Amino acid sequence: MGSVIVITSGKGGVGKSTVTTCLGRALCTLGKTVVLIDMDAGLRSLDLLLNMSGKTLFDLSDILEGRCSVSQAVLPLDDKTGLFLLPAPVAADAVQDVELFRRLCGKLAEIFDYVLLDSPAGIGQGFENAVVAADNALVVVTPDPVSVRDGAKVAALLRQQQIKRARLVINKIQSALILNGVLLNLDEIIDAVGLQLIAAIPNDDAVICAGAQGEPLPDCNAAKAFLNLAKRMENQIVPLLNLKKIC
Q: How many CA atoms lie within 13 A of 114 on its CB side?
A: 29
**Long-range CB contact pairs, 48-53, < 8 A, 24+:** 48/214, 49/17, 49/18, 49/21, 49/211, 49/214, 50/21, 50/77, 50/83, 50/85, 50/214, 51/213, 51/214, 51/215, 52/77, 52/85, 52/87, 52/214
| CATH code for position 226 | 3.40.50.300
pLDDT digits (tens, 9 = 90+) for 78-112: 767 899 999 988 765 656 678 888 999 999 999 99
pLDDT digits (tens, 9 = 90+) for 193-224: 999 999 999 998 998 898 888 899 999 999 99
Whether 243 has a pLDDT exceeding 80, the answer reads no
pLDDT band at 57; cut points 50, 70, 90:
confident
pLDDT digits (tens, 9 = 90+) for 159-193: 998 888 999 999 999 877 777 777 888 889 999 99
Task: Please state the pTM of the whole predicted model.
Answer: 0.92
pLDDT of residue 93: 64
pLDDT of residue 80: 72
| Contact (Cβ atoms closer than 8 angstroms) between residue 157 and residue 128 | no
Domain that holds residue 218: 3-246
pLDDT of residue 20: 97
pLDDT digits (tens, 9 = 90+) for 232-242: 999 999 887 76
pLDDT of residue 65: 87
Strand pairing class (114-118; 136-141) = unpaired
Identify the bridge partners of residue 34 per DSSP, sorted by sequence position.
83, 114
What is the tally of structural domains in the chain? 1
pLDDT of residue 235: 93
